[in-house]
Amino acid sequence: MKFATKAIHVGNEPEEKTGAVIPPIYMTSTYAQEAPAQHKGYDYTRAGNPNFCVAEAQLAALECAQYATVFSSGLGALTAYLSTMKKGDRIIAMDGMYGGTFRLIDKIFNKFGIEFVLVNPSEKEKLASLLKSGPELLLLESPTNPLLDIHDIRYLSKIAKSSGTVTIVDNTFATPYFQNPLALGADIVWHSCTKYLGGHSDIIGGAMMTDDPTTDEALKFARMAVGVNPSPMDIWLLSRSIKTLAVRMEKHQENALAVARFLNDHPLVNEVYYPGLPGTENHEVANKQMSGYSGIVSAEFDLPIEETKKLISSFDLFLLAESLGGVESLVDHPASMTHASIPKDEREKMGLSDGLIRFSVGIEDSEDLISDLARALEKSRHTLCPGGG
């Protein structure tokens, strides 16, 4: 089966009792047992729920993986994995990751003696020698949030594998529609299902996919033991949304490309970050490992901080809000919102300036989106140069 067919059919059998085409929401915390410890495969929803199994079958199929586990959130999923590590273990990660991922390792797991080494991806030799020293985990995000940097997953997971290092790839921005990290050599694919997979800004969820049965068992144990299970309701909504992922991603990408081109030609914009724009190394690496460029565009505006803040609050269709990947367009100011948890000096080293705006381009009509941007930018230009410069 091809992607769009799998997204609709895998995991979806009509319900036995009634023939309902859509599985019911098993909104239950517990399950009746015939005798102590004799049950029908479920005993407590923290450990498992039929709705989790449906979504897990869908997600495994879309990532071409043997196993999937759903969690309470993207960070809940990473917490589960990190809880399997021990004091003295080392994590190598790249500058430019999502701020909440940085905070989880830096502020929580560091305290328990898990070492965290952040590398600038341009320091290729340092990275290769760190990987050769056999750290326990290489954590990659590609494309990164919010600068849309692309890491060479095939190359890095190959070096990691040769020293016994596990590679986890955060595939949230690309989605399995545009990228399958396991096929590129990674060991685990990680998603915030809150974003494109959920797709409607109405759930919080996470997932990890792998081909390794021991890792899968450890993740399911950690979900139950740590308590990072999702709600059956959220996971039912996730299963519903996954069915339209293919059509949504095509439209997100088409609109994002239109927005990136528009911003690229605008005089108030210093730089546009979108892997679909040719002429950059990111574009070349993306073409080697992705089948598309997804729907996030970031742009560095030639505006003072106060004007950037005014601009970001002045769009009509691009709503100012955290998060991304929903059908509606959103804007974010990383320095004061999603990435405020990264200290300012670290942020600046990563290239997250105060003038940077991240656009999560939705699936509205692209002409309406461009008009919204054009109107708001014209207003900013007029404020800066009232004479019309």
Ligand X SMILES: Cc1ncc(COP(=O)(O)O)c(C=O)c1O
Distance of closest approach, residue 268 Cβ to ligand X, in angstroms: 26
Q: x/- binding map, residues 326-365, to ligand X, per CB under 6 A? A: ----------------------------------------
Distance of closest approach, residue 302 Cβ to ligand X, in angstroms: 26
Cα distance between residue 303 and residue 263, in whole Å: 14
The answer to whether 233 and 205 have CB atoms below 8 angstroms apart is no
Listed ranges 169-177, 211-219, 250-258, 312-320: which one lies at the site for ligand X (CB under 6 A): 169-177
Return the C-alpha torsion angle 78, 82, 83, 88, nearest 10: -170
CA nearest neighbour of 71 among 225, 231, 216, 206: 206
The answer to whether 355 and 305 have CB atoms below 8 angstroms apart is yes
Name the β-bridge partners of 192.
206
Cα distance between residue 30 and residue 186, in whole Å: 36
Q: x/- binding map, residues 69-88, to ligand X, per CB under 6 A? A: ----xxx-------------
Distance of closest approach, residue 134 Cβ to ligand X, in angstroms: 26
CA nearest neighbour of 203 among 230, 223, 169: 230
Q: x/- binding map, residues 195-234, to ligand X, per CB under 6 A? A: ---------x-x----------------------------
Distance of closest approach, residue 255 Cβ to ligand X, in angstroms: 19
Distance of closest approach, residue 388 Cβ to ligand X, in angstroms: 39
Catalytic (active site) residue 46:
yes
Verify binding: residue 98, ligand X, rule CB under 6 A: yes
Catalytic (active site) residue 98:
yes
Of 11 and 230, which has the nearer Cβ to ligand X?
230
Residue nearest to ligand X (CB): 74
The answer to whether 348 and 329 have CB atoms below 8 angstroms apart is no
- Of the residues 25, 28, 31, 100, which one makes contact with ligand X according to CB under 6 A: 100
Listed ranges 96-104, 274-282, 326-334, 367-375: which one lies at the site for ligand X (CB under 6 A): 96-104
Listed ranges 34-42, 95-103, 250-258, 351-359: which one lies at the site for ligand X (CB under 6 A): 95-103
Separation of CA 333 from chain center: 17
CA nearest neighbour of 105 among 114, 97, 96: 114
Of 157 and 172, which has the nearer Cβ to ligand X?
172
From the candidates 195, 223, 248, 347, which is the catalytic residue? 195
Query: Sheet of 269-273: strands edge to edge?
Result: 269-273, 296-301, 356-360, 330-332, 319-320
Cα distance between residue 204 and residue 138, in whole Å: 25
From the candidates 170, 216, 332, 354, which is the catalytic residue? 170
From the candidates 81, 98, 196, 274, which is the catalytic residue? 98
From the candidates 43, 46, 158, 211, which is the catalytic residue? 46
Alpha-helical segments (H) within the chain? 3-9, 50-62, 74-82, 99-103, 124-132, 153-162, 175-178, 213-222, 232-242, 245-264, 281-289, 305-312, 344-349, 366-384
Of 147 and 311, which has the nearer Cβ to ligand X?
147
- Of the residues 192, 241, 253, 366, which one makes contact with ligand X according to CB under 6 A: 192
Burial of 116 by CB count in 10 Å (0-12 exposed, 13-18 middle, 19+ buried)?
A: middle
Catalytic (active site) residue 177:
no
Q: Judged by CB under 6 A, how many residues of this single chain contact ligand X?
A: 15
The answer to whether 228 and 72 have CB atoms below 8 angstroms apart is yes
Contacts of 130 (CB under 8 A, 6+ apart): 92, 117, 119
Q: x/- binding map, residues 119-158, to ligand X, per CB under 6 A? A: ----------------------x---x-------------
Return the C-alpha torsion angle 10, 74, 175, 313, nearest 10: 130
Active site members: 46, 98, 170, 195
Judged by the rule CB under 6 A, the positions of this chain that interact with ligand X are 73-75, 98, 100-101, 141, 145, 170, 172-173, 192, 194, 204, 206
